[in-house]
Amino acid sequence: MAQLFFRYGSMNSGKTIEILKVAHNYEEQNKPVMIFTSGIDDRDQVGIISSRIGLKREATPVFSATNLYEEVAKIEPKPCCILLDESQFLEKKHILQLAQIADGLNIPVIAYGLKNDFQNELFEGSKYLLLYADKIEEMKTVCWFCTKKATMVLRVDEDGQPMYKGDQIMIGGNDRYYPVCRKCHANPSI
């Protein structure tokens, strides 16, 4: 029986490189995969997943109107695995569609994303993945300012100063976000 996995981690924990690795492992054995990413992530360009180490790949962008179940159901031959990057930006209906893919089409689904935002609140996609995923796995990385495990994300402004208020979603990379531990989130050494 296929399962829905949620693999979460702070910024820089290797989520995208893991997707690229998993896809390579399947495809090396001639087993097709389908890769999705949030349509609002335009850091490289919409429909491209790219890791901080420079590897990138095309993916199907997910927008509010996208029905993931229908997208996968129409593909022949069926993919052996569904991989999803930036899953924190998905809506509840998308998470239910991912569960439907695992349960109804018997295709494993592995969703990667952040668990919490810069204010330490859950994203909608992450909240429902935590509720519906069969398996939840943490991907670890180190705090930007000390050697503890990073469990949070610190947003900074153009001058590098910490931000604790603002819109939940603001697309950015190392120029705007740091992986941090709880202590450094409250008192960063910038």
Structural contact between residues 136 and 107, judged by C-beta atoms closer than 8 angstroms: no
Among candidate residues 58, 127, 57, 59, the one with its CA nearest the CA of residue 88: 127
- Residue 73's φ and ψ, nearest 5 degrees, are -60, -30
Segments in the chain forming alpha helices (H): 15-28, 68-73, 92-104, 124-132, 182-186
- Residues making up the annotated binding site for substrate are 169-172, 177
Catalytic one of 71, 76, 86, 158? 86
Query: Longest C-alpha distance within the chain, in Å?
Result: 52
Among candidate residues 77, 69, 85, the one with its CA nearest the CA of residue 23: 85
Active site residue 86: yes
**Angstrom distance (rounded) from CA 131 to CA 133:** 6
**Angstrom distance (rounded) from CA 61 to CA 94:** 12
- Residues making up the annotated binding site for ATP are 9-16, 85-88
Examine residue 77 and say whether the peptide bond preceding it is cis (omega within 30 degrees of 0): yes
- Residues making up the annotated binding site for Zn(2+) are 143, 146, 181, 184
Residues labelled catalytic: 86
